[in-house]
Amino acid sequence: MLLNAVFPGALLLTSMLLGGCNAVLVEQPIGDVVVTLDPATWQGIWVNDEVVILTTVLDREKGLLQAAWLERGAEGEGARFESVTGTVRQTGDKIFLSMEKEPAEEWGTTAAPVAEVPATDAPATDAPAIAAAATPAPVTSVAVPPEYTWARIDNNGKRIILWMPDVEQFQQAVQDGRLPGTVREDKDVMLAPLAPAQFELINSPAGNLLSWSEPLAFVRIGN
């Protein structure tokens, strides 16, 4: 049984990190300034009552942080290792962790349909034309813009707190015009660029848009 199916907190975390379930998405990592990551603060082993996370600073100047953990697979599959890399940025005194959703699927492909091949009893002199008609059209790579899941984060070096977006609250806020963006058919929310007042609304407990009452908290137990 997967860790996600047992622990709801782990489901929230891995949904954010790996892009599962419904999410509140942005086109760029949230935050105006990259946070310089001090390994003494950001690198370590962190635990709550549901999961253990290992964090590694990959590039302190670019704010790149890797998170890794183990999941128990289905019966007979054994454990599996999961890891993702995110970026840590801030606006004012507010810090955010952003993770690219499904980074392995950055490219799609398109190709024109293959032309119909003439019947086999066509004259032999038409062989070059037959070969040309049977040649598949070249595959064209189409860039898929990245999308990011995110959370507000606070780290004092001894404990980390994550406030995740409340998807239902964001859906309502977009539908009633308080926030710019769209609610997709799959119920994901894609936010448009935010005005300063809208940014403050997201980060205010009065806005009720983040999981203020049920954050994910981790305590550091090692380096």
Tens digits of residue pLDDT in 6-60: 333 444 455 555 445 789 999 999 999 999 999 999 999 999 888 899 999 999 9
pLDDT for res 172: 97
Torsion of CA 119, 120, 123, 125, to 10 degrees: 110
Rounded Cα distance between 167 and 16, Å, is 12
Cβ contacts of 109 within 8 Å, gap of 6 or more: 139, 140, 141, 142
The answer to whether residues 100 and 111 belong to one domain is: no
State the burial class of residue 11 (Cβ atoms within 10 Å of its Cβ: 0-12, 13-18, 19+).
middle
The answer to whether residues 178 and 165 belong to one domain is: yes
The answer to whether residues 60 and 97 belong to one domain is: yes
The answer to whether residues 46 and 127 belong to one domain is: no
The answer to whether residues 60 and 28 belong to one domain is: yes
The answer to whether residues 162 and 214 belong to one domain is: yes
pLDDT for res 104: 40
Low-confidence ranges of the chain (pLDDT < 70): 1-20, 102-142
Q: For the chain, percent helix, then strand, then coil, each to nearest 5?
A: 25, 35, 40
Rounded Cα distance between 115 and 92, Å, is 58
- Helix H or strand E segment including 132: helix 127-134
Cβ contacts of 93 within 8 Å, gap of 6 or more: none
The answer to whether residues 135 and 160 belong to one domain is: no
Work out the end-to-end distance of the chain between its first and last CA atoms, rounded to an integer number of angstroms.
29
Domain of 35, in residue numbers: 3-106+146-222
Q: Which of 140, 165, 183 represents a domain boundary (last residue)?
A: 140
The answer to whether residues 130 and 172 belong to one domain is: no
The answer to whether residues 26 and 97 belong to one domain is: yes
pLDDT for res 161: 95
The answer to whether residues 152 and 49 belong to one domain is: yes
The answer to whether residues 61 and 155 belong to one domain is: yes
pLDDT for res 47: 94
Sheet hosting strand 189-191, strand order edge to edge: 24-25, 189-191, 181-183
Tally of domains within the chain: 2
Q: Which of 84, 117, 140 represents a domain boundary (last residue)?
A: 140
Number of C-alpha atoms within 13 angstroms, CB side, residue 119? 3
- Helix H or strand E segment including 218: strand 216-222
Backbone angles phi, psi at 150, to 5 degrees: -160, 165
Q: Among residues 182, 168, 109, which one has the least CA distance to residue 144?
A: 109
The answer to whether residues 206 and 160 belong to one domain is: yes
pLDDT for res 110: 43
pLDDT for res 61: 98
pLDDT for res 73: 76
